[in-house]
Chain A
Protein backbone atom coordinates (compact mmCIF):
# COMPACT_ATOMS: atom_id res chain seq x y z
CA UNK A 1 0.00 0.00 0.00
CA UNK A 2 1.26 3.43 -0.94
CA UNK A 3 0.93 5.28 2.38
CA UNK A 4 1.89 8.65 0.93
CA UNK A 5 -0.72 8.29 -1.80
CA UNK A 6 -3.33 7.34 0.79
CA UNK A 7 -2.52 10.43 2.89
CA UNK A 8 -2.69 12.55 -0.27
CA UNK A 9 -6.11 11.01 -1.07
CA UNK A 10 -7.25 12.18 2.37
CA UNK A 11 -5.91 15.67 1.78
CA UNK A 12 -3.09 15.28 4.28
CA UNK A 13 0.44 16.33 3.36
CA UNK A 14 2.27 14.29 5.98
CA UNK A 15 2.05 12.33 9.22
CA UNK A 16 4.53 13.02 11.99
CA UNK A 17 3.97 9.90 14.05
CA UNK A 18 1.18 8.52 16.22
CA UNK A 19 -0.52 10.92 18.65
CA UNK A 20 -4.03 11.72 19.76
CA UNK A 21 -4.09 14.83 17.59
CA UNK A 22 -2.81 12.95 14.55
CA UNK A 23 -5.32 10.12 15.04
CA UNK A 24 -8.15 12.65 15.20
CA UNK A 25 -6.87 14.40 12.07
CA UNK A 26 -6.64 11.10 10.17
CA UNK A 27 -10.12 10.01 11.28
CA UNK A 28 -11.71 13.33 10.33
CA UNK A 29 -9.94 13.45 6.98
CA UNK A 30 -11.01 9.90 6.14
CA UNK A 31 -14.64 10.43 7.19
CA UNK A 32 -14.87 13.65 5.18
CA UNK A 33 -13.06 12.32 2.09
CA UNK A 34 -14.01 8.68 1.56
CA UNK A 35 -17.69 7.95 1.01
CA UNK A 36 -19.64 5.11 2.53
CA UNK A 37 -21.13 3.68 -0.64
CA UNK A 38 -22.71 0.57 -2.13
CA UNK A 39 -22.73 1.74 -5.74
CA UNK A 40 -20.05 -0.88 -6.39
CA UNK A 41 -22.53 -3.64 -5.50
CA UNK A 42 -25.14 -2.56 -8.04
CA UNK A 43 -23.28 -4.15 -10.93
CA UNK A 44 -23.29 -7.66 -9.47
CA UNK A 45 -19.54 -8.00 -9.10
CA UNK A 46 -19.26 -7.73 -5.35
CA UNK A 47 -16.11 -6.05 -4.07
CA UNK A 48 -12.90 -6.84 -2.20
CA UNK A 49 -12.66 -7.60 1.50
CA UNK A 50 -8.87 -7.41 1.56
CA UNK A 51 -7.88 -4.11 3.22
CA UNK A 52 -5.00 -3.44 0.83
CA UNK A 53 -7.23 -3.95 -2.22
CA UNK A 54 -9.86 -1.69 -0.67
CA UNK A 55 -7.22 0.93 0.05
CA UNK A 56 -5.98 0.86 -3.53
CA UNK A 57 -9.50 1.42 -4.87
CA UNK A 58 -10.01 4.29 -2.44
CA UNK A 59 -6.70 5.89 -3.41
CA UNK A 60 -7.58 5.70 -7.11
CA UNK A 61 -11.09 7.07 -6.42
CA UNK A 62 -12.53 3.97 -8.01
CA UNK A 63 -14.67 3.31 -4.94
CA UNK A 64 -15.42 4.23 -1.37
CA UNK A 65 -16.78 1.25 0.46
CA UNK A 66 -18.90 -0.09 3.27
CA UNK A 67 -17.79 -0.96 6.78
CA UNK A 68 -15.49 -3.90 6.03
CA UNK A 69 -13.70 -1.99 3.29
CA UNK A 70 -13.57 1.44 4.95
CA UNK A 71 -12.50 0.28 8.39
CA UNK A 72 -10.30 -2.40 6.83
CA UNK A 73 -8.47 0.12 4.67
CA UNK A 74 -8.26 2.59 7.56
CA UNK A 75 -6.78 -0.09 9.82
CA UNK A 76 -4.15 -0.83 7.17
CA UNK A 77 -3.27 2.86 6.93
CA UNK A 78 -3.10 3.32 10.71
CA UNK A 79 -0.97 0.21 11.12
CA UNK A 80 1.40 1.37 8.39
CA UNK A 81 1.71 4.71 10.21
CA UNK A 82 2.67 3.00 13.47
CA UNK A 83 -0.63 2.82 15.37
CA UNK A 84 -1.67 -0.16 17.50
CA UNK A 85 -4.97 -1.18 15.91
CA UNK A 86 -7.34 -3.94 17.02
CA UNK A 87 -10.25 -5.25 14.96
CA UNK A 88 -13.55 -6.22 16.61
CA UNK A 89 -16.74 -8.00 15.55
CA UNK A 90 -19.82 -5.80 15.64
CA UNK A 91 -23.40 -5.58 14.52
CA UNK A 92 -25.72 -2.71 13.64
CA UNK A 93 -29.25 -2.38 15.00
CA UNK A 94 -31.89 -0.73 12.82
CA UNK A 95 -35.67 -0.38 13.09
CA UNK A 96 -36.02 -3.73 11.32
CA UNK A 97 -32.91 -5.47 12.64
CA UNK A 98 -32.39 -6.40 16.31
CA UNK A 99 -29.28 -5.67 18.30
CA UNK A 100 -26.81 -8.48 17.70
CA UNK A 101 -23.10 -9.01 17.17
CA UNK A 102 -22.97 -11.17 14.05
CA UNK A 103 -19.84 -9.89 12.28
CA UNK A 104 -21.96 -7.66 10.04
CA UNK A 105 -19.90 -4.68 11.17
CA UNK A 106 -16.15 -4.25 11.63
CA UNK A 107 -15.01 -1.94 14.43
CA UNK A 108 -11.54 -0.64 15.26
CA UNK A 109 -9.91 0.39 18.49
CA UNK A 110 -6.57 2.11 18.83
CA UNK A 111 -4.38 1.96 21.91
CA UNK A 112 -0.92 2.81 23.13
CA UNK A 113 -0.64 6.33 21.78
CA UNK A 114 2.58 7.94 23.06
CA UNK A 115 0.73 10.95 24.53
CA UNK A 116 -2.11 8.88 26.07
CA UNK A 117 -0.66 5.41 26.66
CA UNK A 118 -3.44 4.20 28.98
CA UNK A 119 -6.35 5.39 26.82
CA UNK A 120 -8.14 3.22 24.24
CA UNK A 121 -10.03 4.84 21.38
CA UNK A 122 -13.14 3.71 19.54
CA UNK A 123 -12.37 4.35 15.88
CA UNK A 124 -14.99 3.83 13.17
CA UNK A 125 -15.10 5.33 9.68
CA UNK A 126 -17.41 2.59 8.43
CA UNK A 127 -20.82 3.59 9.74
CA UNK A 128 -21.64 6.14 7.07
CA UNK A 129 -23.29 8.71 9.27
CA UNK A 130 -21.37 7.69 12.37
CA UNK A 131 -18.26 9.13 13.94
CA UNK A 132 -16.45 12.19 12.67
CA UNK A 133 -13.71 11.80 15.28
CA UNK A 134 -12.74 8.90 17.56
CA UNK A 135 -14.34 8.48 20.98
CA UNK A 136 -12.47 7.60 24.15
CA UNK A 137 -13.44 4.02 24.92
CA UNK A 138 -15.34 4.82 28.10
CA UNK A 139 -18.97 5.61 28.87
CA UNK A 140 -20.00 9.07 27.75
CA UNK A 141 -22.37 11.35 25.85
CA UNK A 142 -20.99 13.04 22.77
CA UNK A 143 -22.10 15.71 20.35
CA UNK A 144 -20.77 15.28 16.81
CA UNK A 145 -22.93 17.58 14.69
CA UNK A 146 -25.53 16.92 13.49
CA UNK A 147 -25.93 13.96 15.86
CA UNK A 148 -25.91 13.11 19.54
CA UNK A 149 -24.09 9.86 20.34
CA UNK A 150 -23.82 7.77 23.50
CA UNK A 151 -21.09 5.20 24.16
CA UNK A 152 -21.79 2.72 26.96
CA UNK A 153 -21.16 -0.91 27.90
CA UNK A 154 -23.13 -3.29 25.71
CA UNK A 155 -26.16 -5.09 27.13
CA UNK A 156 -25.69 -8.10 24.84
CA UNK A 157 -21.94 -8.82 24.70
CA UNK A 158 -18.76 -8.23 26.64
CA UNK A 159 -18.04 -5.03 24.82
CA UNK A 160 -19.51 -1.68 23.91
CA UNK A 161 -22.64 -0.11 22.51
CA UNK A 162 -22.98 3.08 20.46
CA UNK A 163 -26.48 4.55 20.70
CA UNK A 164 -27.05 6.66 17.61
CA UNK A 165 -29.12 9.80 17.25
CA UNK A 166 -32.86 9.17 16.62
CA UNK A 167 -32.55 10.95 13.28
CA UNK A 168 -30.16 8.33 11.95
CA UNK A 169 -31.45 5.21 10.19
CA UNK A 170 -29.24 3.25 12.58
CA UNK A 171 -30.52 2.70 16.10
CA UNK A 172 -27.18 1.63 17.47
CA UNK A 173 -24.21 -0.68 17.16
CA UNK A 174 -22.73 -3.23 19.55
CA UNK A 175 -19.23 -4.64 19.35
CA UNK A 176 -17.19 -7.19 21.26
CA UNK A 177 -14.10 -6.31 23.26
CA UNK A 178 -12.43 -9.48 21.99
CA UNK A 179 -10.05 -9.00 19.07
CA UNK A 180 -11.01 -10.24 15.61
CA UNK A 181 -9.30 -10.82 12.28
CA UNK A 182 -10.48 -10.00 8.75
CA UNK A 183 -11.34 -13.67 8.23
CA UNK A 184 -14.10 -13.26 10.85
CA UNK A 185 -15.96 -11.10 8.32
CA UNK A 186 -15.55 -13.25 5.19
CA UNK A 187 -18.88 -15.06 5.48
CA UNK A 188 -20.90 -11.89 6.05
CA UNK A 189 -19.10 -10.03 3.28
CA UNK A 190 -19.74 -12.87 0.84
CA UNK A 191 -23.48 -12.49 1.43
CA UNK A 192 -23.87 -8.76 2.03
CA UNK A 193 -21.93 -7.71 -1.06
CA UNK A 194 -23.66 -9.92 -3.66
CA UNK A 195 -26.94 -11.43 -2.42
CA UNK A 196 -29.90 -9.87 -4.24
CA UNK A 197 -31.78 -9.42 -0.96
CA UNK A 198 -28.84 -7.80 0.81
CA UNK A 199 -29.72 -4.24 1.87
CA UNK A 200 -26.43 -3.14 0.33
CA UNK A 201 -27.41 -4.58 -3.05
CA UNK A 202 -31.12 -3.67 -2.99
CA UNK A 203 -30.50 0.07 -2.70
CA UNK A 204 -27.50 2.10 -3.72
Chain B
Protein backbone atom coordinates (compact mmCIF):
# COMPACT_ATOMS: atom_id res chain seq x y z
CA UNK B 1 0.00 0.00 0.00
CA UNK B 2 1.11 3.51 -0.67
CA UNK B 3 -0.51 6.80 0.30
CA UNK B 4 -1.00 9.47 -2.33
CA UNK B 5 -2.31 13.01 -1.85
CA UNK B 6 -5.92 12.05 -2.65
CA UNK B 7 -5.89 8.28 -2.82
CA UNK B 8 -4.42 5.00 -1.60
CA UNK B 9 -2.85 2.46 -3.95
CA UNK B 10 -3.16 -1.15 -2.83
CA UNK B 11 -1.60 -4.30 -4.27
CA UNK B 12 -3.06 -7.45 -2.73
CA UNK B 13 -1.62 -10.57 -4.38
CA UNK B 14 -2.16 -9.65 -8.06
CA UNK B 15 -5.06 -7.19 -7.58
CA UNK B 16 -3.97 -3.58 -8.00
CA UNK B 17 -6.48 -1.02 -6.71
CA UNK B 18 -6.51 2.71 -6.20
CA UNK B 19 -9.08 4.06 -3.76
CA UNK B 20 -10.26 7.62 -4.45
CA UNK B 21 -12.84 9.66 -2.59
CA UNK B 22 -15.67 8.70 -4.95
CA UNK B 23 -14.57 5.50 -6.64
CA UNK B 24 -12.04 2.69 -6.75
CA UNK B 25 -10.08 1.60 -9.83
CA UNK B 26 -9.11 -2.08 -9.91
CA UNK B 27 -6.96 -4.13 -12.28
CA UNK B 28 -5.71 -7.70 -12.21
CA UNK B 29 -2.02 -8.01 -13.03
CA UNK B 30 -1.99 -10.80 -15.58
CA UNK B 31 1.69 -11.45 -16.07
CA UNK B 32 4.84 -11.69 -14.02
CA UNK B 33 6.22 -8.72 -15.93
CA UNK B 34 3.16 -6.61 -15.02
CA UNK B 35 3.51 -7.65 -11.37
CA UNK B 36 7.14 -6.58 -11.06
CA UNK B 37 6.57 -3.45 -13.12
CA UNK B 38 3.86 -2.37 -10.66
CA UNK B 39 6.08 -3.09 -7.66
CA UNK B 40 8.82 -0.96 -9.21
CA UNK B 41 6.89 1.86 -10.88
CA UNK B 42 4.00 2.27 -8.45
CA UNK B 43 5.56 1.26 -5.14
CA UNK B 44 9.23 2.04 -5.75
CA UNK B 45 10.38 -1.51 -5.08
CA UNK B 46 12.63 -2.69 -7.91
CA UNK B 47 13.53 -5.79 -5.86
CA UNK B 48 16.80 -6.12 -7.71
CA UNK B 49 18.19 -8.10 -4.77
CA UNK B 50 15.95 -11.06 -5.63
CA UNK B 51 17.26 -13.92 -7.74
CA UNK B 52 15.24 -15.10 -10.72
CA UNK B 53 14.24 -18.16 -8.69
CA UNK B 54 12.97 -15.93 -5.88
CA UNK B 55 11.09 -13.75 -8.36
CA UNK B 56 9.41 -16.82 -9.86
CA UNK B 57 8.55 -18.08 -6.38
CA UNK B 58 7.07 -14.74 -5.34
CA UNK B 59 4.98 -14.51 -8.52
CA UNK B 60 3.64 -18.05 -8.03
CA UNK B 61 2.73 -17.24 -4.43
CA UNK B 62 0.85 -14.15 -5.54
CA UNK B 63 -1.07 -16.14 -8.16
CA UNK B 64 -1.91 -18.87 -5.64
CA UNK B 65 -3.11 -16.30 -3.12
CA UNK B 66 -5.36 -14.73 -5.77
CA UNK B 67 -6.77 -18.13 -6.78
CA UNK B 68 -7.46 -18.92 -3.11
CA UNK B 69 -9.27 -15.59 -2.81
CA UNK B 70 -11.42 -16.39 -5.84
CA UNK B 71 -12.23 -19.85 -4.43
CA UNK B 72 -13.32 -18.33 -1.11
CA UNK B 73 -15.49 -15.82 -2.94
CA UNK B 74 -17.15 -18.58 -4.99
CA UNK B 75 -17.78 -20.69 -1.90
CA UNK B 76 -19.27 -17.71 -0.10
CA UNK B 77 -21.56 -16.98 -3.06
CA UNK B 78 -22.80 -20.59 -3.05
CA UNK B 79 -23.67 -20.37 0.65
CA UNK B 80 -25.68 -17.17 0.31
CA UNK B 81 -29.44 -17.64 -0.13
CA UNK B 82 -30.78 -17.07 -3.62
Residues of A within 8 A of B (CB): 31-37, 39, 42-43, 61-64, 128-130, 132, 145-147, 167, 202-204
Contacts and interface: CB of A to CB of B under 8 A. Distances in A.
Contacts of B61: 42, 204
Interface in B43-66: 43-47, 49-50, 54, 57-58, 61-62, 65
Contacts of B69: 203
5 contacts: A35-B2, A64-B43, A146-B8, A204-B11, A204-B12
B2 A36 contact: yes
Chain A binding surface, main DSSP class: loop
B12 to A, nearest CB: 6
B43 A203 contact: no
Contacts of B45: 35, 37, 39, 61, 63-64
Q: Chain B CB within 10 Å — which of A35, A64, A132, A147 has the most?
A: A35
Nearest to B50: A43
